[in-house]
Each structure stands twice: as structure tokens, then as C-alpha cells.
A and B are shown apart, each in its own frame.
Chain A
Amino acid sequence: MSKAGYENPENYSNRELSWLLFNKRVLSEARDKNNPLFERLKFLSITASNLDEFFMVRVASLKDMVNAGYTKPDIAGMTPTEQLLALNEATHDLVDKQYLVYNRSIIPQLKTNGLRVVAHHEDLTEKEAAYVDEYYEENVYPVLTPMAVDSSRPFPLIRNKTLNIGALVRKKDGKGELEFATVQVPSVLSRIVEIHTKNPSGNTQEKAVILLEEVIERNIHKLFLNYDIVCAHPFRIMRNADLSIEEDEAEDLLKEIEKQLKKRQWGQAIRLEVEEGIDKKLLKILVEDLHVRQEDIYRIDGPLDLTFLMKMYGLPGFDHLKEKAYAGPQPVPELPADCNIFEQIRKEDLLLFHPYESFGPVVEFIRQAAGDPDVLAIKQTLYRVSGNSPIIAALAQAAENGKQVSVLVELKARFDEENNIVWAKKLEKAGCHVIYGLVGLKTHSKITLVVRREEDGIRRYVHLGTGNYNDATAKLYTDVGLFTCASYIGEDATAVFNMLSGYSEPLSWNKLSLAPLWLKDRFLFLIGREKENALAGKEGHIIAKINSLCDKDVIEALYEAGAAGVKIELIIRGICCLKTGLPGIGENITVRSIVGNFLEHSRIFYFENGGKPEYYCASADWMPRNLERRVEIMFPIDRPELQKKLMTILQMQLRDTVKAHILTPSGAYEKVDKRGKGYFNSQLEFCNMAVQAAKKQELLVNSRVFIPEMHHE
């Protein structure tokens, strides 16, 4: 097929719809009876928070486009209006499914397992009701701020993402008009109220909980003493209040929006969630005053905002309903506790696979560097770090110890800005040189450079990763990281930091490829080379494990390679705008998505290269924003043992029959057909492997037989 053939928008999926499919896959984990019940709560909660973020960022952005009169079609040929329309349908469908899972399986299952969720306050027993009312008086009432609306009081500001109870009230003294009143469900209180009563049935095992909004609803008449409550229902809105314009969007859009700034409706409500069966008059008031479109109303069959389920996961007493199969992060055999990390890295490059292998050595690397008298400088990029980051503490310590510490802190990291500023200031105070991001670019690369003065001159130790330097998420995200002191990487790392400090790019790079300057071309080259090889009759093979694929140039290159006969196996957790089964390509390109206990986050690339395979890891996905508007790094893995480790990771993921979904030519994701393949959960296997490796090392250390060293370094 000619190149032009694949340019057709029909050959691409819309990224937003593809994202919704991803959220559906997460939802399928919530539905999966093989998962422990409380894990299913968690997955359901994640689908809800995912969807919230999706609205705030993506839907808001599309609304902006529509408001700005921007009509340029996306990769799949859909205009923003068309996308919104399609999304609307798909989102409603997703929400319906969420509540189906909640009502049909989660709630009954919880009850069977001794946790009764009282859906409506009307269902409370007398004793329970008494307890709840007392709880209300003591804890809730003092923090409520009821607001009524009449001619003298305007419609109050309903804050983004908050849960509220709207009510229609009427003055007690007569036949006055219906008035609207609202009260925010306070976010300072726990959404879940445990009902502590002695159970009359004698079943002490059962625990009962009720949601805070039900407690308030039950007592709402106490807020409006001179009124009769005609009806009261919870509601929640999402606003387009994001002041920053999404980096993903085209530059011409930014110009367009700038021009039409006045047209943009700040704080426009883009989603209204209401309880199903809400009073019609009440809904009408909300819709009119909040200017919500009909299609943006979501009638919810159950409690609004399911993110409370994450809190429910934390309720004590249900550990037996949580995941136990996955072992925690294991010690890295090559980096035993108390070892000198620099010494170990000098022996050989090391590749760590988190969270199966502990993130501890990475923290330790910086900690040791901070205290090492031979270390001259530490340089690091930080994107998102944990609240009480040991890395930040080590960096500050290093600066206090007189080392030159440069840190690039990315302030543009979404939702984390405030947090980032706080500790960036802390670092500055300690004497670190802090760079607050680059103009127009987000620094997404994860790289650390330690410059050490040794016997025979300066040696540079580099850590390159696919995940953030965040010790908390490193326990939940799968990522790989490389430790090396190879001089060619060290030179490149120095050049990276020179560039980040505002100096010119180096005359040449040894091994690293950087976005936004060269990375995309590099990928296109690598994919193109496979195509050429396939055309020349050699074997062409690409395996890519990424989080998202939506860059058109990359997809086009993949299509062409696939058409030329290259075997392309893609493991893509989230968005995938590529379609499978296109004519001329058929099964040459396969896409699978793994959604499991850990969030798949590593980016690993394999290129056959005519029998001389090349392996890479990167901080970037195949998305335009990664390749064009971010500073990203791709690094090769050259050592054969490490290549083997990467290949094992890739192959095990390709073998997964439990947590993998396959993208079908129809555009849907389906679970792998297990027939003849057996049960294989790659994440679980990775855990087991790490445990075994750590055990073997432990045996070695604790062995009473001395093992003579046969080589001397």
C-alpha cells in the first residue's frame, strides 16, 4: 500500500476514545472476580479519579477548542465538536458500567463479607440512626455552611469537584415560592462514616458504614429551620477552570485561544453529576444556573464520586480481602545492603526493575554521593517527588557538604506545582543550584549524574530511568533504571546538564538521544531501518513497551514497517491511536495492554537490526507531547546480560494471559484467550523472580562455605 494510503484518518483511532477504552480496562479489573474484593474497590476508585482528571484536562481542552471555533480535525479526522459528541456517549456508557459494577457486584459482595454500606439513610435501623444523628451533631453540623438563594442572594459559587447537596425548600409559614438551597459536603471530614452500634442480631462481625452526604441529607432540615425541605439530592460539578492550556495541543490552537480569550468561558461547568431520580425542578434550577448542557448531565445510580472507595480500602479489618500474592520490593542482588554503590557500578552496569526490585539503591546512590568526600558534583532532574522525599534530603545534605548540586525542578508537572515549589525553595536554601524548568518545555527526563574524582581522574556515574525519582510511586509503578559509569554515557550526561543549564548543544552525542531535538527522528530512523531490512529479505522485528502511542509520524512509520513485513509487537498500557488488522499489514502488528496490580510505566524498545539487536529505554512515550514539547532521554542498553534482562521482561509481558488485553481490529480490547496457553500473570512472575534472586543472594551471603574469588579487578 502506498504511503498515502496510511495517511487516511480512518486508519487511526481518536486518542480520547482510546483513553476511555483504557479506563474501561481498569474497570474490568474492578469487575474481575479473580481479584480480591478490596482490590476491586481500589480499581473502581481509580476509574473514577481517572475520569475526573480526564474531564478537567482533556474534555475541558476540547470545550476550549469548540469555544474558540477551532475546527481542525484530529488524527482520526474528527473535529473537536465531533469528538465531544462521541466522547459524551462513551463516557455516559462508562459511567453506567461503573455503577453497574458498584451496585451489582461490589456492594452485595461487601455485604457478604461483613461490610454493609447503607445506601440511603432511610435504611438505617433505629439505633444506627441515633448514632448517625449524634455523629452529625457533634462532628458535621459545626462545619457546614448552608446557602440559600433568593432574590437578594445570588446563586452561590459551587466549587469545582466538590460534593454538594441541593435542596428545594419552602418557607414554613405559608405557600411561598420554592427556594433553592445548597450545602457543601465538607471535604475535611471523612466521606465514610462508620456506624458503631452494638448489633442486635449478635453478629459482631458485620460492620456498617454510611456516606457523609446521607448523614447530612438526613439532618438537612436542621440547617434550614424556618423551611420545609421539599427535596434534597447530592450533586457535583466539574468546571473548566484550568488556567493553563494543555501542552498537548497544537501551537496554532494556542494562538487561536489567545485571540479569542474573551470568548473563553472561565469556570464553565462541563459536567454535572446528579443522583438518579433527582427532583425535576431541582435539576432544572441547577442546569439553568450552572449553564450545563443537557448532554453533560450524568444521572448516577448510586453515590456520586466513587473515589471514596480508596478510603474504604483503608478500613481496618479487611486485610484478608486484599492482594497478598505480590511480594514487596526485593533487595537487588548486585547491590547488597551496606555496599559501596560506586564500587558496584564500576564492576558492571546495573539495570533495576522496579517495583519488583527495590528503589532503595537509587536513593542510596544519592545519599552515598552526598557523603562521599571524592564526589565533586551531583546533578539531577526532578519531575514529581514524594512528599517527604529522602532524595531531596540527600541533595540538600550534599550541598551542605560543599558539593556542587544542580537540580532541575519541573514546576510544570501537572497538579504538583505547589508541592514542587516548596521543596525547590528548600533545596535552594541548602545551597543547591536550582533551575526551575525550561521556557516552553517540560523536563520529563529522569537522569542523575554524579561526578567523582578518583585515582585516575574524573569518573562520572549516571542513573537513567523511565520513572520519576519518587520513592513512593516506585513501589507501585513498573519502571527500569540503569546505573552506569561508562564514559560515553557520562559525557552525554554532562552535555545534557549543560543544555539544561542553558548552554549550547554539544557538537555530537555518543549514546543518548534527546527530545525535543533528535529523539523523534531517531525513532523514525530505527523503525525505518527495520522496514528496509524487511524489504531486503532480512528479519524485521520491533517490540515496544510504552504507555501511550498517538504520534502520527511514528504510527505511519510503524504501518509502513508492518506492511513491509516487520513483526511489530506493541505493549501499550493506555492510549493507542494505531489500529490493528489493517489491509496489507494484517497480523504483523499486534497491540496488547497490561493493566494489573502495578501501574505499567516503563518504556522499553527492541529493534532487531538485522541480527544485531538494539535495546533502548526511555522516559518518553510515542506521543507528540513527549517527542516535541518535552525534554526526554532515550538510552541504549548495551551489556548483553542487561539486554537479556530486558528481553525477559518483554517476553513475559507478551506471554501474559491474565492481565493482558488484546486490541482487536474492531478497535475493542479483549482479554487473552487462555485456551492452550495456561495462566500467566507477568507482574506476579516478576515478583517471584525478584524474590528468588534476592533469596539466592541471601543464601550466598549467609553461607558458611567460603567462596574464593577467582578474579581480581
Chain B
Amino acid sequence: MSVKTFAAIDIGSYELAMKIFEVSKVRGMREIDHVRHGIDMGTETYTKGKLSHERVGELCRVLREFADIMKSYQVEDYVAYGTSAIRESENRSILLNQIALRTGIQINVLSNSEQRFLDYKSIAFQGEGFLKIIESGTAILDIGGGSIQISLFDNDTLVSTQNMKLGVLRIQEHLNQLGVSIRHYDRLVEEMLAPQMNVYKKLYLKDRQIKSIIIVDDYISTLVKHKMNDGVANGFVDKKKMEYFLEICHTKTLTELAKALDTPEENMPHLFIALKLVKSIMDDMGAEQLWVPGVTLCDGIAYEYAEKNKIITSTHDFEKDIVACAQNISKRYRGSKKRSETLEKIALTIFDSMKKVHGLGRRERLLLQISTILHDCGKYISMVNLGECSYSIIMATEIIGLSHMEREIVANVVKYNHLEFDYDEESGSLSTLDEDSYLKIAKLTAILRMANGLDRTHKQKFRNVKIALKEDELFITVDTEADITLEKGLFGARADFFQEVYHVRPVIRKKRIP
């Protein structure tokens, strides 16, 4: 039987959810069960820094039940991810260990960008509908408990993503502290959002035309599925309908509203905030319609799993998104596109010809590619402290699709392209990383340095380069008439590091012109 049963668990800031899927090559993904338990972990983490004893108890109890449910479906594999409520808790390692011991469920923590990427993946896996919508200007608005995330598409590629700490729970927490009634939410949410949106518009949105906004959240999705969707196919909502809904929210009492929308009354403030956020952002961007595909993080987790295990493939190229994001960042910091392209070409050629030696995979190749794209972004700030500045920029910029660790690898590769490699594994700047990552950084840095050295003069003399590995030597054959004295001269030190890492000596050769 080629059907696999898989469970995806999402430990969110206000809900624990588990979806059971059947995954097979023939039938794709099939949702079997969806269990949700409302639990407000966000408020405690955001205000006190950690979860209370009782909350942890509840969390463990429900997770144990989840484990039982998994057992009853004979689930073969599962992935459990914690998001901001776990991520932001001070004692998260202790917490996760305790949960693992008490429930047997191993939770991994998602960085914000990983989480958003999974959400994004689950949207992209909607297939046709998604491909069609991103043909024209599209933004994804991902509303969570702690923060919201806005991602922009250019043509059909995701080019930027920004996080704002304006999650539904967080906003409500603020409003609670102000002690205002829900009647005033409208204005206050607007006021909290406006300054951030102004900056966002100036820096990121610029003159992009956004026609559609794709919504990922829990409240509006429920609403759309239940009520807004009569006559509207597949979760599309236009501006008029949005206005109508906000209007209803203004004219009805909470109780009436909860009844009319089939939503528990205590969720109404959240729904209201979410609606208000969406409406304001819709107005700010001048978007005409919303698409609410109703996907959840659990879907994303499952797609990731199915993709990783080569059970299904997406029609959308996610690596292209990551590359496009990196290019966009480079552009923002006035990186040289031409030079990046040369570097990329050389570096990847070296990488490919060294496959047997470095033993790295496709993902690391992508990291190398991104490193070449971002190799000089720090120049924007300081031409002297290029390494440090690049590192800081990369670490502070979200690249959707990269995990935190991957981002750190890229940042370090770029950094040590310019700086002396820090070998100190005990107390050096790389000492916080695990050995695997440390080695990846070393290996990728060695390649990037080589490539950088070959293009020292930025004249793209080494654009046409042939590289061949012969035993302990890497022959780099350049097809150029230009003078490469400088490159050859500066090559030594870089070659030493390369040899140190790979035990392979690079040798430059100039192709004889007949």
C-alpha cells in the first residue's frame, strides 16, 4: 500500500491543531481529520515571557490526546511545530524537553520566516487558483496571534516579505491594557497600524499595483467558509462584501454577531481586529479582492513533508522565490547585479565540480547562490566593515523560505568571505553553531572566497571558466585574453584556505589562444 498516514501538529499561540493526512502519489494529500483545541498561550508568553504551570499542563494533556488519536489512525510519521508563543517563551528549551518527556511528542520551533513559508507553501499547493491569482499584483497577508506578515509578488515570484508585530492577540492585549470597549477598536487598530503601514508603503510597496490579497488566518477564514461565501466561489471576497461585514460588526451587538456568524462570542474581538486589519491594508494597497483559501499551517506542514519525501511536487518553484527575495534585498542595498551574476556562475561551477569532495546537496547549493547574491550588501553601510555589515543586514532581513539556521549560514559565509575565518569553536563567533553548520560555513566560504578571488577586479574576466577536478588539484581554466596577473597574484591566500578545507589545490590556467 502506497498510502502513508501523516500527522501535522501546530502549536499556535491561541490554538492547538492537528491534521491527519493520507499522502499518496496517486491521490495526493487527503485530509482525514482535523482536531482543534483552543488554548491561549500567546497572551501569557507575550506579557509574562513564559507559560504558566496550568497552561503547560493543559498543553501536555491535549498533546497526549493527540498522540492517542495518531495511534488510532496508525499514523506513521508526524511533524509538530511550535510558533511564536513557544518561540518567544524564555524557557523554551526546558519547556520543549518537558513536553517531549511527558507526551512523547517532539516539537520543533519554527522561525517566523519558516512559519510564513509553510503557510505560503500551503497556498501555493492550491494549484491553478494560486497560479492564476499571482499573474497580477498580489500580496499575501498572513495574520497570526503575535504578528502579521505581508509578502509581495512580482510577476509570479515572491519578492519580499515583512513582519509586523501586529498580531491579533497582541493587539487585543494592548487594547485590553487601554481598557477600551470593542466599539473603539476600529479607530485604535487603525492608529496602531497606520504608522507601520506608511513606512511599509514607502520602503517596500512603492508603486506596485496590488490587485488581490491572499489571506491566511483563522478567523476570517472561518467566517468566509461559513457565511461570506454564499454565491462567491472558492473563497473570493470583494471589497463591497468586506465593507458589508465591517458594517455588520458595527451595528450588531457581540452576542447577535456571534450568533449570526456561528462564532463563539469570545472570538469576536479577534475576528473584529482581523477584519479591521484586512480592510485597512486592503485600502492602503488599493486591492480589489481577497482570496481566502482557508489553509492552515497544518496544511503547509503536510505539503512540506510530502514534498520532502517526494510524494508530491508543486507546480510552483519555491527556490525561485528565495532567489528573487535575495536579489531584491541586494537591489535595495545597491549590490552589483553583474558582479553577482559572475560570482554566482563561478561559485556554482566550482560547487558542482567539487560534488564528490564536499558532499553537500541541493539546498547548500542554494545557500551558496544566495551568498553570492548578497555577498556585498554591507557595502551600502560601510566599505571598510563590509563583512560585519553584510552579516548584520542578512541576519536582520527575512528571507522567506530560509530557516533561521540557513540564514545564519548565509550571513556567515558572506562575512568570512571578507574576514579571516574564525576557527575558534570554543568561544569564537561561530561557537554557537552546531558542527554540521560550522562545516557548511567553512566549505561554502572556501568556494565563495575562491570565486571572489577569481573576480577580484570586478571585470568579469573569469566569466567563461572551465573547472575540472583531477585528484588533488582543481584546474580552473579561463578563456580570456585579459591580463590575469592580479588574480593570480592574489590567489595564493585564498587557495590555501580552500586547500585546508577540501585538501584540493586550485590551479589557474589560461586557455591558450590558437
Residues of A bordering B, CB below 8 Å: 376-377, 404, 451, 453, 455-458, 494-495, 498, 501-504, 506-508, 517-518
How far apart are the CA atoms of A404 and B1 in the complex, in Å? Answer: 22
Contact A376 B37 (CB under 8 A): no
Question: Shortest CB–CB separation between residue A250 and chain B, in angstroms?
Answer: 17
Measured between beta carbons, the chain B residues less than 8 angstroms from A377 are: 72-73
> By CB atoms of chain B within 10 A, which of A458, A494, A503 has the most?
A503
Contact of A451 among B1, B15, B65, B73 (CB under 8 A): B73
Measured between beta carbons, the chain A residues less than 8 angstroms from B1 are: 455
How far apart are the CA atoms of A377 and B35 in the complex, in Å? Answer: 16
Q: Say if the beta carbon of B22 comes within 8 Å of chain A.
A: yes
Measured between beta carbons, the chain A residues less than 8 angstroms from B30 are: 457
Measured between beta carbons, the chain A residues less than 8 angstroms from B225 are: 507-508
Contact A457 B36 (CB under 8 A): no
> By CB atoms of chain B within 10 A, which of A501, A506, A507, A518 has the most?
A507
Residues of B bordering A, CB below 8 Å: 1, 3, 5, 15, 22, 24, 27, 30, 32-38, 65, 68, 71-74, 221-222, 225-226, 262, 294
Contact B37 A517 (CB under 8 A): no
Measured between beta carbons, the chain A residues less than 8 angstroms from B65 are: 501
> Can you sample 18 A-B contacts with CB below 8 Å?
A404-B71, A451-B73, A453-B74, A455-B1, A457-B3, A457-B27, A457-B30, A458-B32, A494-B33, A501-B65, A502-B37, A503-B36, A504-B38, A506-B34, A507-B225, A508-B222, A508-B225, A517-B262
How far apart are the CA atoms of A507 and B221 in the complex, in Å? Answer: 8
Measured between beta carbons, the chain A residues less than 8 angstroms from B74 are: 376, 453
Interface residue SS majority, chain B = mixed
How far apart are the CA atoms of A247 and B374 in the complex, in Å? Answer: 69
Q: Return the chain A residue nearest B38 by Cβ.
A: A504
Contact A504 B226 (CB under 8 A): no
Contact A457 B22 (CB under 8 A): yes
A376 and B72 contact, Cβ closer than 8 Å, known pairs A455-B1, A457-B30: yes
Contact B3 A456 (CB under 8 A): yes
Contact B24 A508 (CB under 8 A): no
Question: Shortest CB–CB separation between residue B20 and chain A, in angstroms?
Answer: 8
Contact B35 A498 (CB under 8 A): yes
How far apart are the CA atoms of A518 and B27 in the complex, in Å? Answer: 33
How far apart are the CA atoms of A191 and B98 in the complex, in Å? Answer: 66
A504 and B72 contact, Cβ closer than 8 Å, known pairs A457-B27, A457-B30: no
Measured between beta carbons, the chain A residues less than 8 angstroms from B72 are: 376-377, 404, 451
Measured between beta carbons, the chain A residues less than 8 angstroms from B221 are: 507
Question: Shortest CB–CB separation between residue A631 and chain B, in angstroms?
Answer: 16
Q: Return the chain A residue nearest B73 by Cβ.
A: A376
Measured between beta carbons, the chain A residues less than 8 angstroms from B33 are: 494, 498
Measured between beta carbons, the chain B residues less than 8 angstroms from A504 are: 15, 36-38
Q: Return the chain B residue nearest A518 by Cβ.
A: B262
Measured between beta carbons, the chain B residues less than 8 angstroms from A498 are: 33-36
A503 and B37 contact, Cβ closer than 8 Å, known pairs A455-B1, A508-B226, A518-B262: yes
**CB-based closest 5 A-B pairs:** A404-B72, A504-B36, A508-B225, A457-B22, A457-B3
Measured between beta carbons, the chain B residues less than 8 angstroms from A517 are: 262
Question: Shortest CB–CB separation between residue A200 and chain B, in angstroms?
Answer: 74
Measured between beta carbons, the chain A residues less than 8 angstroms from B222 are: 507-508
How far apart are the CA atoms of A451 and B32 in the complex, in Å? Answer: 10
Contact B27 A503 (CB under 8 A): no
Measured between beta carbons, the chain A residues less than 8 angstroms from B22 are: 457-458
How far apart are the CA atoms of A508 and B227 in the complex, in Å? Answer: 10
How far apart are the CA atoms of A377 and B32 in the complex, in Å? Answer: 13
Measured between beta carbons, the chain A residues less than 8 angstroms from B32 are: 458, 494
How far apart are the CA atoms of A536 and B415 in the complex, in Å? Answer: 74
Contact A457 B15 (CB under 8 A): no
Q: Return the chain A residue nearest B36 by Cβ.
A: A504
How far apart are the CA atoms of A503 and B65 in the complex, in Å? Answer: 11
Measured between beta carbons, the chain B residues less than 8 angstroms from A502 are: 37
Contact A503 B226 (CB under 8 A): no
Question: Shortest CB–CB separation between residue A92 and chain B, in angstroms?
Answer: 44
Contact B73 A503 (CB under 8 A): no
Measured between beta carbons, the chain A residues less than 8 angstroms from B226 are: 508
Contact of B35 among A457, A458, A503 (CB under 8 A): A503
> By CB atoms of chain A within 10 A, which of B15, B24, B35 has the most?
B35
How far apart are the CA atoms of A506 and B262 in the complex, in Å? Answer: 11
Measured between beta carbons, the chain A residues less than 8 angstroms from B294 are: 507
Contact B73 A457 (CB under 8 A): no
Knowing that A458-B22, A508-B222 touch, tell me 11 more A-B residue pairs with CB under 8 angstroms.
Answer: A377-B72, A404-B71, A453-B74, A455-B1, A457-B27, A494-B33, A498-B33, A503-B36, A504-B38, A507-B222, A507-B294
